[in-house]
Amino acid sequence: MINHLSDVAAKPVASVGAIRPTYVHRIVLGLTFLVAFIMYIDRAVIGVATPVMMREFGLTKITMGWSVSAFNWSYALLQVPGGWMADRFGPRLVLALAMTWWSVFTAATGLVTGAIPLAITRGLFGAGEAAAFPAASRSLGPWLPESQRAFGQGFQHSGSRFGAAVAPALVVSMMVFFSWRAVFYLLGAVGVLGACIWYAYYRDRPNEHASVNAEELALLPAPKAFAAKQPVPWRLILRSRDLWFLSVMYFCYGWVLWMYLTWLPTYLAEARSFTQLRVGIGATLPLLAATVTHAAGGWISDKLTAYWDDRRRGRIRVSVIGFAIAAIALIPGVLASDANTAMFWLVVALAGLELTVAVSWAICLDIGGGFSGSVSGVMNTFGNLGGAVSAVVIGYLATFLGWTYPYYDVQRPVYAGGCTGLEDRPTTIGRGIH
């Protein structure tokens, strides 16, 4: 049976004068930031290299869209198995193996010579990354106090946006001195090193870590709330109404996020006539803003939850506001005649969208408990199906209708998916999956 939130009882804190608690959980949170950083810098580098690869291989936007989307398809389809493995075998082992796998195929991307090898390599790369976020999200469950759950998810995921933000400027700078292929080789080596660091330091249970004292354990959730290696109750998970509303919302989120990650550099070059240097800067700015709002969304949600004493309300209000900002800001972002004005609104749109992410992953912990890896795997499957469809459809729309329509049209899926189902209907958040 899935653990209910009522089972996650906070232990009493140490009395005054007692030994001060260690803070290994903060280092663990920092490590998940590092994992997300490496994950997304490896993922975002393809968007920056896309214009160069298209010229070298003689590919159209449609062909490139299909090749790149191979990542999204394998990544989406293997989310649930990845989350299940994290629940069954623990995030320490699963995340280390996943990082090693995707890093090998990051390096292998530097060896491709055309559309088909690129699609195969990106598909295998996506298979490795599929377990990453479900496992990383699951890894924080035993290591964070319940009152910091959304902030922890936001801080962890902000590493992903920081990695994606750094990627354009880093790759453009490296390509001045090296080939685009060398970038993939180097990033692959960094990923393998990150996997070794994760496996060496992290433990699936805080009481298994040699550096954790009893005072720190008293701050963390009860061990039974995130017990590992239990059969996953798929019937209960798949019957959760909350999870299906959440998954539809995340499909819409994934559609827009991957529009930015896959096509923004090409859009800036073709539709806004940016130079290569300006493309690197322009693709970085929205993701830097997203790095801040990612963590801010989780922090705000935790504060509102405590203020209202209502977890459902504290989660959903942040999501609704974030989606509304994204939908409204995309209008001037695509219609403004001045390139700098357009860039400003595109930054605002992604910043608003990213307010919602920590909330979505915190909800997975809220309703999934010790099975949050499987729950988040279902949600993230839909998010990446949205990304896969987006990568292909936007390639067609940009080819036949120009660049304005793809950016204008995404306002509808973003706003339509803005958590309205969760807001208007009863939810099981706060009581576990029933």
Please give the structure tokens belonging to residue 317: 């209000």
Q: Could you tell me which of 78, 94, 77 has the C-alpha nearest to residue 86?
A: 94
- 111: how many CB neighbours lie within 10 A of its CB? 11
pLDDT value of position 224: 63
- For residue 284, what are the CA distances in angstroms to 162, 177, 268, 281? 9, 20, 12, 5
DSSP helix/strand/coil, 130: coil
pLDDT value of position 49: 84
For tokens 């082992």, name the residue: 93
pLDDT value of position 28: 93
> What value, to the nearest 5°, has the Cα angle with vertex 197 and ends 194 and 199?
110
Please give the structure tokens belonging to residue 409: 């049209």
User: 424: Cβ–Cβ under 8 A, 6 or more apart, which residues?
Assistant: none
Q: Show the domains of the chain with their CATH numbers.
A: 13-424 (1.20.1250.20)
pLDDT value of position 324: 92
- 238: how many CB neighbours lie within 10 A of its CB? 12
Please give the structure tokens belonging to residue 194: 């990150």
Give the Cα separation of 391 and 411 in Å (integer).
16
The secondary structure of residue 263, as a DSSP letter, is I
Q: pTM, whole model, 2 decimals?
A: 0.71
The secondary structure of residue 34, as a DSSP letter, is H
Please give the structure tokens belonging to residue 208: 């298994």
Q: Could you tell me which of 288, 295, 264 has the C-alpha nearest to residue 361?
A: 295
Give the Cα separation of 150 and 19 in Å (integer).
28
**Residue 78 · residue 127 · CB < 8 Å:** yes
Give the Cα separation of 291 and 298 in Å (integer).
12
- For residue 46, what are the CA distances in angstroms to 1, 161, 175, 266, 366? 42, 15, 13, 11, 34
Please give the structure tokens belonging to residue 5: 């939130």
Residues of the chain falling short of pLDDT 70: 1-18, 222-230, 276, 401-434
Give the Cα separation of 284 and 280 in Å (integer).
6
pLDDT value of position 413: 46
pLDDT value of position 111: 93
Handedness of CA 223, 318, 135, 380 (dihedral sign): positive
Please give the structure tokens belonging to residue 213: 């004292």
pLDDT value of position 16: 45
